[in-house]
Structure 1
């Protein structure tokens, strides 16, 4: 007999290993936790550092943080321990209403790599809500000749909790005339009904006072009550009847306020007051009464405030037609809201480098942002773009995230800052768009030396000038910014007739103004050749030179002298004519 294990070759374990690897990879990048509602702020949810394979100290070093599009942050990340904790008390009913599962999704961003990891936290229900009736007291009318077994509609209770913690049953106070029955609607809601067990006699008892109690299935059990006043009326033997048991209508969300949506029609063959019908909503929620209006006489339903597909996609309600004799009939109404393109796309900036060096390499990431559109279908599909004449481009990241990157080298002296317009447009008809501006400053590097307007300068000064007089001023411009553009001036070291030039002239290092340190004598110095150096304050500094020729102007400061003939020493005089000359 063949060994059953011999059927496994080398390929089978290899295939099993590959299958397990595929299943592991399919779950990678998604972290799931579960936490009950109403925990104190700071309660432990899970260890993100451990689940990401990081040490807690690496969280701050790598810039790990929570990224969420919602305005309210439900969770916080402890940078010391790496724990994910609650940022505040979480009310599951406020967050997810009566959905079977309440899931909160957000992303974990590792800033230094700009990698995103999805996190999903399920908020589990606790029994923190009592069953609640809309009204504390309710009047129910019944004809005194109603047959035994006649059902009477009662108000139903609502419990914001879900599952076993939600409404489970009703209980009626003890009496001999009525019993309690329960019916379940298609939506799972339990509806109580009074059932007449004994004939009524209005002349003996006109009003029966009962207590209706709603109980949930929590531990401990929570309950709510309402007082039922059964009003016994004289005979009215025909109940109203709707032409349909259920009415359905679909309307666009941008329909004008006040528009009639549909008309409900009920008939009653009785005459007079017993045949006059009044329409009303039965046990409606607040959002129904705030959104719709029911004409009590005509049965017309119209809007009293704008509809919003993104807020509510359908409305389920019940309408009651009651005659003057207290008999009534009910019909279901389902209003479906159709989406129109009424939400412009949104841009949420997640991470931004507000300043970038002009020597950054092409492909440098400038910003990370996400886009969102509240509409659905094509109305919610988004196209993202920036102007083509800029040295930047958009690159799709994970989910609905985009990177903004450089495409070529930047030059601060050409353009020192950018106002980048990010345009997001949906695919609706007509399309809606939103512009978001990203401001980027280009940081300077010291790549330009100071520049003089001219290659050389010359100036004149009369001799016998006062000491310290300003004789000239030079100015150099550096197109860089900050310290890289801060210019200082100096004279090149040189000598004239063995004396340092710095003993003749000085220069103000900040302004470039030159001053005479002494009084010039044309007969001694007729001109000086100077070199002025302008240096910036960069690291390393850059500089440039310019020549300055200083010419001394002669003044008539010397009287003529008679050199020949010499004056006689015996007191006689001699005269000789000579041309007058300043020299």
Structure 2
């Protein structure tokens, strides 16, 4: 369906001659002004199926070496025509002539050529110039004996607008009613007006010898614009006869090889005035084009016209010269004649080849992509040969493995892709188009240009590894470099330029950034204790079209620095007082110091030291576990209060530490020593033990009611007394927390490999002794013991203490 429609469309354009469509646009519009829809107005898409219309592309034919700035641009996909710059009709066209510009538009389906449309854009002139006189005032003279109807010429106004209406000028005379003057207007051959002031009555110099009147020049634009000429009239004798040409139109024919030393023609004009008023000079008028002025030269005195330089073959064949003959009167009078010069071509000249590229080009080099399809249209070739007969008949050819020349009609061709291109095999091609006419002898011309094959983005960026690992110490400054992400892409240009970005899940803050060259750096200072490892992905993307990308896994390890000093968990307050009762041959362990450090690894490895208070060498502190024990057996003389300064240090660099003060109130019990060791040399240990158990059971059975009543009374009395001893509660609470966390017997190994030991401690509160059997727990076991004691409540603990005290009394 599309092929048949395309054939009909091509045949229709091949038989169509001249302009395909004409648009109108007003000068002075801003760049980007909409001109017209070429696709819709030329009905180009009427016979193309809807699914194929989206493949249609429009492009303006660009000359290899442009002679002027581009005035229009064509939308590639829609075919709509817009202005590319502000249009100025006066700069584009010659005044009073039809003002237009031709736009050649190439139409393709994908990379396949369809046709070339020749669009004619008419530029409508805007009335942006007012008529201007050469001077703001002019001086003329009338003789006092001049009769009615005498005339004096004055200069006409010129309007620079290009439009016919905007450049047409009407004149009006402003004067007083008693002034005997009128304005006469006559048309010259070049379209300008010939102005003169006509005398309506006889003048009397003795009554009035000068007058001032105004001539108003107004154009026919919308709105009209005008200017004023002040005419100063003095009464005297004046030059009143303009020069007269022998003929108004001169028609001259010359050959291309005309001798520059011989005049083309000689103009003749006469003036019936006398003396200076009859001397004539010749000049080109303002209506003569600048091109004609460069080709022809006019002798001011004789009126001879010469060829200034040789006319090049292929240039315009007809030129119009407007010559003005002016006398030397005051004011001067003038008349205008037109000279038509026809250039006759009698020689055989070689053809001229003009190559315009559809794609982007620089000079004589066009750039195309390596993935361009076979048959794609890349250049438009137009051949010019203005010779007559067989001298102007031309045939062209192109010999190349990758490119082919196809005819589009008389002296028009297109260059298409013949075979697939491969940039990796060859990225540059030199093309020569040869054209030859059929003259005798035949003349030959060549046009050479180059094709640069552009790379296509067909390779994805690659990483050397799937996962990249970096490490950085904590506490570095922000924007500290972490490491480089290195990816490679063998494509060229933008396709090989890579940009990097971090892929963030938006749920967690990622304290990193990555530069365009792949350098990962920190956004903020990192903290190992907050997060030690970061896992994220980096996306690399090339700048090709379409763009390809890839990702790599990145692991950043935040290495620890010793930036956190240890602190004591027990004792939790500083200073701290601990009351200890020593039982000979039974008590060894005292308590366990516990500290923590937020750092990791060697920075969190802690060592304990006792810096003062152990002058008697009574105590020993395990530097690794924090276990505080008695270093020897004690006597009554060792009892007393001991003040210790304890320090805990980490193993980092530099070493960080913390200190605390511990006071131990030591009591050495002799009674407990005798009770535990009194039967070592007398009687049978088993008999004593069974006897003791029996006594305890009987005593407990008899004394339970008495014990309960006494306990209640004792608790009430103690509660009343404790109200007056609030200052001691905190100290007692700390001791209960450390020493009396449970009434159950508990065993704990002092050090690995030692046997489990038990010891008794007595906590003194006022005049009461509360005895319990408990163990000392290292580390988290001590914490758990404290927690279980705290959950028991203060009243339960006091009730149990009373029970223990009464039981001891019964024993």
TM-score, structure 1 as length reference: 0.56
Change (3 A) 1:42 1:142: same
Cross-structure match for 2:130: 130
Distance in 2 separating the partners of 1:332 and 1:28: 34
Q: How has the CA–CA distance of structure 1 residues 295 and 388 changed in structure 2, closer, same or farther, with 3 Å as cutoff?
A: closer
1:320 corresponds to 2:314: no
Gaps of 5+ in 1: 1-21, 444-481, 484-583
1:278 aligned partner: 280
Measure how far apart 1:419 and its partner are. Answer: 3.6
Query: Structure 2 matches for 1:458-469, cutoff 5 A?
Result: none
Deviation at 1:137, TM superposition (A): 4.2
Query: CA 1:56–1:255 in 2, change beyond 3 Å: closer, same or farther?
Result: farther
- Is 2:273 the counterpart of 1:260? no
Q: Give the Cα–Cα distance (whole angstroms) in 1 for the partners of residues 209 and 387 of structure 2.
A: 56
Residue 161 and residue 324 in structure 1: after superposition, are their counterparts in 2 closer, same or farther (change >3 A)?
A: closer
Task: Provide the C-alpha distance between the structure 2 equivalents of 1:142 and 1:379, rounded to a whole number of angstroms.
Answer: 65
Distance 1:202 1:430 in 2: 79
Map 1:79-478 → 2, pairs under 5 A:
79=76, 83-97=80-94, 98-100=96-98, 102=100, 104-110=102-108, 112-118=111-117, 119-140=119-140, 142-159=142-159, 160-175=161-176, 176-186=179-189, 188-201=191-204, 208-230=211-233, 232-234=235-237, 241-252=244-255, 255=258, 259-267=262-270, 273=275, 276-281=278-283, 284-285=286-287, 287=289, 290-291=293-294, 294-302=298-306, 310=315, 313-322=318-327, 328=333, 330-338=335-343, 340=345, 345-351=352-358, 364=375, 367-373=378-384, 375=386, 381=392, 383-386=394-397, 394-397=405-408, 400-404=411-415, 419-425=430-436, 434-439=445-450
- For 1:320 and 1:225, the matched residues in 2 are separated by 25
Deviations 1:253-296 (A, max 9, x none): 6656675333333445666x257522233854475795565545
Partner of 2:60: 66
Residues 158 and 185 of structure 1: CA distance in aligned 2, closer, same or farther (over 3 Å): same
Structure with the bigger RCO (C-alpha within 8 Å, sep 6+) is: 1
More helix by share: 2
Deviations 1:470-491 (A, max 9, x none): xxxxxxxxxxxx99xxxxxxxx
Larger radius of gyration: 2
- How far is 1:371 from its partner? 1.6
Mapped contact 1:318–1:331 kept (Cα < 8 A): yes
User: Is the 8 Å Cα contact of residues 240 and 327 (structure 1) preserved in structure 2?
Assistant: no
Q: For residues 488-524 of structure 1, what are the alpha-carbon distances to aligned partners after superposition, in whole Å with 9 as ceiling and x for unaligned?
A: xxxxxxxxxxxxxxxxxxxxxxxxxxxxxxxxxxxxx
What does the per-residue CA deviation read over 1:3-50, in whole Å, with 9 as the maximum and x for residues that have no partner? Answer: xxxxxxxxxxxxxxxxxxx99x97999444333222111122234455
Distance 1:78 1:287 in 2: 35
Cα pair distance change 1:299/1:32, threshold 3 Å: closer
Q: Deviations over 1:222-271 (max 9, x none)?
A: 11333444465437787765444444433446656675333333445666
The answer for unaligned runs of 5 or more in structure 2 is: 1-11, 360-365, 455-489, 492-811
Once structures 1 and 2 are overlaid, which stretch shifts more, 99-108 or 50-59?
A: 50-59
Q: How many matched pairs?
A: 421
- Aligned CA distance change for structure 1 residues 298 and 329 (closer, same or farther; 3 Å): same
Distance 1:220 1:280, change over 3 A: same
CA distance in 2 between partners of 1:419 and 1:268 (Å): 67
Separation of aligned partners in 1, 2:39 and 2:101: 21
Q: Is the 8 A contact 2:297 2:306 kept in 1?
A: yes
Distance in 2 (alpha carbons) for counterparts of 1:173 and 1:431:
69
Counterparts of 2:257 and 2:206, CA distance in 1: 55
Q: Could you report, residue by residue, the CA deviation over 1:50-85 in whole angstroms, capped at 9, with x for unpaired residues? A: 555499998996543222556432222345766432
> Residues 343 and 375 of structure 1 are in contact (CA less than 8 Å); yes or no, is this contact kept in structure 2?
no
The separation in 2 between residues aligned to 1:430 and 1:151, in whole angstroms, is 64
Where does residue 507 of structure 1 map in the other structure?
A: none
SS in 2 for 1:152: strand
Alpha-carbon distance between aligned partners in 2 of 1:67 and 1:389, rounded to the nearest angstrom: 23
**Kept after mapping to 1: 8 A contact 2:89/2:124:** yes
Q: CA deviation at 1:325?
A: 7.7
Structure 2 CA distance, aligned partners of 1:227 and 1:429? Answer: 66
Whether the aligned pair in 2 keeps the contact of 1:35 and 1:45 (CA below 8 Å) is yes
Question: What's the secondary structure of 1:114's corresponding residue?
Answer: strand
Distance change (3 Å), C-alpha of 1:210 and 1:56: farther
Contact 2:352/2:384, CA 8 A, preserved across alignment: yes
Indicate conservation of the 8 Å contact 2:370/2:422, yes or no: no
Map of 1:4 onto structure 2: none
Moved more, 208-217 or 391-400: 391-400
Secondary structure of the 1:221 match is: coil
Alignment match, 2:34: 44
Instruction: Write the distance in 1 (CA, Å) between the matches of 2:421 and 2:148.
Output: 91
Residue 314 of structure 1: CA displacement? 2.1
Contact kept, 8 Å, 1:128 with 1:161, in 2: the verdict is no
Higher mean displacement: 57-66 or 164-173: 57-66
Q: CA deviation at 1:422?
A: 1.1
Q: How far apart are the structure 1 equivalents of 2:174 and 2:392?
A: 57
CA apart distance, 1:169: 1.0
Q: Which moved more, 1:31-40 or 1:289-298?
A: 289-298
Structure 1 range deviating more: 273-282 or 320-329 = 320-329
- 8 Å Cα contact 2:58/2:79 also seen in 1: no
Q: Structure 1's 220 and 441: CA in aligned 2 closer, same or farther, altered over 3 A?
A: closer
Deviations 1:170-223 (A, max 9, x none): 122315132112223455544333212233456766654443221112222111
**Would the aligned equivalents of 2:435 and 2:444 in 1 still touch at CA under 8 Å?**
yes
CA contact (8 A) 1:344 1:433 kept: yes
Alpha carbons of structure 1 residues 170 and 123: separation in structure 2 relative to 1, 3 Å: same
Flag the 1:434–1:323 CA change in 2: closer, same or farther, 3 A.
same
Q: 1:397 to 1:55 in 2, by over 3 A?
A: same
Give me the whole-angstrom Cα distance separating, in 2, the residues matched to 1:241 and 1:275. Answer: 13
Map 1:479-498 → 2, pairs under 5 A = none
Q: Please report the RMSD computed on the Cα atoms of aligned residues, expressed in angstroms.
A: 5.2
